[in-house]
Amino acid sequence: MLNDMTFKTAISLFFICVIWGLTFSVMKVGIDYIPPLTFSAIRFIIGGVLLVGFTLVLHIPVPAKEDWWALVVLGLLQTALTFGLVFSAMQFVPAGMTAILLYSYPIIVNLLAHFLLAEKLNFKKIFGLFTGFTGLIIIFSTGDLHSGSIYGKVMIILAAVSWAAATIFFKLRFPTRNRLQVTAWQMLFGGVLTLLIIPFVEGGISLTLNLTALAVLLFTAVFASALAFALWFFVLDQWGASRASVFLFLVPVCGVLFATWLLGEDLTLKLVLGLIAVVAGIWLVNAQQPGKESSEAKKGF
């Protein structure tokens, strides 16, 4: 029987997966009203300010001076580059497919960690890598190779690589820092960096502010960025990164289901097969042997 804290943790994890899965459909709607980089900048500046405020309420100190430039680099990798590419790519790629491709990043993390962190791949993880990359190949084989779709897919894979690189950088540079503190400040810095390049890419800030656009910004900034990450760190504190990360496979599943239900996107056989393969890969590379805790859990996710 579940105790009260286990139940609260499970419910929190459920809401995280639902919120992050739904976010892809919300982003797809939002880019009809707000240019991609402008959308990304506003989302993460608001989300970052809210999370930074939350850390101050919890009496978590401002980062030390020696961490500022590292936080800027992390913000560039994890927020500005990753989600700048994702928002831009979603002009060409369906929301459900975006969710699957982006959440291949745990698979890429394990591959990079083998070479950069001496986290050796066992048979289960190697099989997970093979399964996950097979799913990506299946998804890449859908659509016209000469359309904008293929470029969008490549951009999302590059975003997944950037997110994976950010995870490795986090482990190397911030192994003992407070995870919520690091996430909040890198998010804010990443949003500001995105804002700075808007004049060169989009010619300035231009957006159509109506009820739909405001609702989209509210959901992505407050719920998907601030609230979901606050819940995520609560889950990490209760269960640890190894146990919690196994359930990340639910995010692309929710992403595809919401995109099919809310946006009417086609649920093709290839997309389903690709989803199954990527989800299996995520589970295999994240699942830990009983009684063992990965370095990811020790250092922070």
Model pLDDT for residues 145-184, shown as the tens digit of each residue: 545 588 999 999 999 999 999 999 999 999 899 999 999 9
What pLDDT is recorded for position 291? Answer: 45
What pLDDT is recorded for position 3? Answer: 66
What pLDDT is recorded for position 241? Answer: 74
What pLDDT is recorded for position 255? Answer: 96
Rounded-to-integer distance, Cα 181 and Cα 84, Å: 22
Rounded-to-integer distance, Cα 106 and Cα 103, Å: 7
Return left, alpha or beta for 212; rule: phi > 0 is left, psi -120 to 50 is alpha, else beta: alpha
CA 16 centroid distance within chain: 11
Cβ-based burial of 202 (10 A; exposed 0-12, middle 13-18, buried ≥19): middle
Residue 205, classed as helix, strand or coil, is coil
Among candidate residues 49, 83, 21, the one with its CA nearest the CA of residue 221: 49
The per-residue DSSP string of 134-161 comes to: HHHHHHHTSS-TTSHHHHHHHHHHHHHH
What is the model's pTM? 0.90
What pLDDT is recorded for position 40? Answer: 97
CA gyration radius, the chain: 18
> How many CB atoms are closer than 10 A to CB 126?
15
What pLDDT is recorded for position 236? Answer: 86
Residues of the chain where predicted confidence (pLDDT) is lower than 70: 1-4, 143-148, 288-301
The per-residue DSSP string of 9-37 comes to: HHHHHHHHHHHHHHHHHHHHHHTTTS-HH
